[in-house]
């Protein structure tokens, strides 16, 4: 049997039936692993998320006054629109012909499976990053000190390097994508290598030549992502209390903590790494309904390292008398689990109450896009078989009051 796009499709469908989608999507991403996914919430053009933000207020010690002051439950409904994310992968025609000539279709099936696996995992990497971000789509920020005047661009935080890959085209802007426009009318630069240890991106050309006006503190975006990203934690639970600007049709200033989450600035308040979570917990305990009772705290490995240094050689005390800190997942004195997640921005910890933050997808996704039942197409101009992985999704807070953003002290 010769290999064609028609009999490639059963290989891909078999992979889908065996569960490659979700398993590969959440691989090595703690937040995605622990997050519920709603695959049936799409109603028309959006996911509808109703949120109660005030209990009935019509009460009084006097019956007639209670009657006159009747005010029922206050409720808002977020109309969350899905955002599409595409990833293209290709198999060289030579791989197909070699397999067909040798009558060894297994080698081709293995090549397809490997490429699909890597594609799904790459898409999962992007989804995990956007789960912490805002709708702007920025992947990193140029150093505030070192200008990108050569082929080397130094990032503000080394931890952001993990969001860039060799072969990626990036654009730049002075804003994070929630406003403004791209430098050089969308001019792009090709990344040739990345260095996690140095916190740098190397391009194929001088950065400032490729992107006119690029300077310190600019934000970097994968080409096509500027201003187009799902609403992650930084959108639902922003650094500042949300104002009157509508967010998915809801003006959140009427109840910023219930509709926009809580926030605690341990750096400004002068907390130490040992006490910041204790003081933040005191603020959590004030929230109505105690949505933080069953929650986890996500923290970047760099920030976790700072915490370990602060407690080097020590142990935290819990109800079992002692608890070692030198592990990736441990309990705070307040009883919350800290989870290391490289996708979480360094310097910020995210507290998420159980079930308060969900991933919404249009059906069970991601999917391999198909045309007339065929998932891969042959292009004789490039001698390649091409497939597309796509997901239509967004993130939503079913209980925004169960989210907290903690700014960590630097030491």
Specify the range with the lowest mean pLDDT, choosing from 21-25, 44-48, 344-348: 21-25
**Domains along the sequence of the chain with CATH:** 5-21+58-133+364-393 (no CATH), 140-222 (no CATH), 238-358+399-407 (3.30.2320.10)
Alpha carbon distance 302, 308 (integer Å): 10
d(CA 405, CA 277): 11
Q: Residue 186 — φ and ψ, nearest 5°?
A: 90, 20
CB 153 within 8 A of CB 201: yes
pLDDT in tens, 203-237: 989 999 999 999 999 999 999 999 999 999 999 99
**For helices 93-101 and 105-130, angle between their N-to-C axes, nearest 10 degrees:** 150
Contact (Cβ atoms closer than 8 angstroms) between residue 169 and residue 188:
yes
Residue 137's CB is within 10 A of a number of other CB atoms, namely: 25
Q: How far apart are CA 194 and CA 152, in angstroms?
A: 9
249 close to 272: Cβ distance less than 8 angstroms: no
pLDDT of residue 67 exceeding 60:
yes
Q: Enter the pTM of the model.
A: 0.87
Q: Which residue has the higher pLDDT, 191 or 114?
A: 191
Out of 269-278, 313-322, 338-347, give the one with best mean pLDDT.
338-347
- CA 141 – CA 38 distance, rounded (Å): 32
Share of the chain above pLDDT 70, in %: 85
- Measured at the CA of 300, the angle between CA 294 and CA 304, to 5 degrees, comes to 85
Residue 323, pLDDT above cutoff 50: no
């Amino acid at each position: 049997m010769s290999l064609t796009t028609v009999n490639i499709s059963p290989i891909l469908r078999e992979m889908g039936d065996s569960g490659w989608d979700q398993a590969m999507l959440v691989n090595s991403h703690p937040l995605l692993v622990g997050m519920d996914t709603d695959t049936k919430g799409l109603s028309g053009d959006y996911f509808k998320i109703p949120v109660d933000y005030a209990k009935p207020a019509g009460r009084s010690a006097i019956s007639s006054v209670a009657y006159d002051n009747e005010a029922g439950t206050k409720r808002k409904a977020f109309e969350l629109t899905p955002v599409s994310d595409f990833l293209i992968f290709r198999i060289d025609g030579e791989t197909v012909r070699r397999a067909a000539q040798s009558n060894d279709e297994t080698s081709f099936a293995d090549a397809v499976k490997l490429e699909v696996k890597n594609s799904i995992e790459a898409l999962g990497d992007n989804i995990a990053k956007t789960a912490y971000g805002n709708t702007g789509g920025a992947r990193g920020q140029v150093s505030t000190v070192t200008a990108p005047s050569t082929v080397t661009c130094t990032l503000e935080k080394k931890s952001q390097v993990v969001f860039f890959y060799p072969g990626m085209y990036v654009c730049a802007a002075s804003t994070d994508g929630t406003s403004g426009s791209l430098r050089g009318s969308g001019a792009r630069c090709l990344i040739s290598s990345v260095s996690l240890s140095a916190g740098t991106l190397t391009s194929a050309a001088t950065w400032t030549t490729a992107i006119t006006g690029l300077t310190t503190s600019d934000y970097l975006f994968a080409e096509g992502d500027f201003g187009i990203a799902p609403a992650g934690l930084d959108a639902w639970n922003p650094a500042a209390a949300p104002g009157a600007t509508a967010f998915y049709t809801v003006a959140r200033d009427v109840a910023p903590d219930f509709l926009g989450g809580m926030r605690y600035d341990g750096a400004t308040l002068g907390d130490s790494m040992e006490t910041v979570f204790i003081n933040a917990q005191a603020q959590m305990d004030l929230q109505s309904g105690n949505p933080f009772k069953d929650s986890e705290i996500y923290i970047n490995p760099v920030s976790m390292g700072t915490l370990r240094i602060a407690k080097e050689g020590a142990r935290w005390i819990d109800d079992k008398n002692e608890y070692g800190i030198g592990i990736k997942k441990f309990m705070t004195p307040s009883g919350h689990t800290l989870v290391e997640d490289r996708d979480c921005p360094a310097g910020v910890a995210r507290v998420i109450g159980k079930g308060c933050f969900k991933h919404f997808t249009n059906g069970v996704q991601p999917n391999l896009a198909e045309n007339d039942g065929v998932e891969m197409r042959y292009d004789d101009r490039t001698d390649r078989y091409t497939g597309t992985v796509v997901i239509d999704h967004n993130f939503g807070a079913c209980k925004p009051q169960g989210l907290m953003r903690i700014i960590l002290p630097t030491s």
